[in-house]
Amino acid sequence: MRRFTLKPGRLSYHDLRHVHDTPLTIALEKSCATGINLAAACVAQVIHEGRTVYGINTGFGLLANTKINPEDLEILQRSIVLSHAAGVGEYMADATVRLMMILKI
């Protein structure tokens, strides 16, 4: 299977057509690791300092003012993913899912 490497700030319409039309795997350019690691370090620092930050260690919507205990954060993150994974009807075409995933990244 072919591989498409996603490069920060360099995604064109042609790339999107290619991702949609070609069965392939998607990888992040190695330079992305720096930004990902910095973001992870920021999240870890928030948790270490005991600060409350929406989207990291709080509930959502009406529960936005509810702080989640550090030992429950992994469950919270998993629950968020699972709550967005539900759907109804037929499965979407692989090409459409690939395109949606690359746009989400």
Give 30-84 pLDDT, tens digit per residue: 999 999 999 999 999 999 999 999 989 999 999 999 999 999 999 998 988 888 8
pTM exceeds cut of 0.85: no
Assign 3-state DSSP to the chain and report helix, strand, coil percentages, each to 5: 50, 10, 35
Res 7 pLDDT > 80: yes
Q: Which residues contact 95 (CB under 8 A, 6 or more apart)?
A: 20, 21
86 has pLDDT over 90: no
Which amino acid type is present at position 72? D
Q: Specify the CATH number for the domain of residue 47.
A: 1.10.275.10
pLDDT tier at 85, thresholds 50, 70, 90: confident
Which two tokens mark 14?
Answer: 């042609």
Rounded Cα gap, residues 57 and 54, in angstroms: 6
Neighbours of 68 (CB within 10 A): 16
Please give the Cα distance from 88 to 72 (Å, whole number): 29
Quote the domain boundaries for residue 50. Answer: 2-104
The answer to whether residues 23 and 99 touch, using CB atoms and an 8 Å cutoff, is: no
Domains in the chain, number: 1
The pLDDT assigned to 88 comes to 77
Q: Count CB neighbours of 77 within 10 A.
A: 12
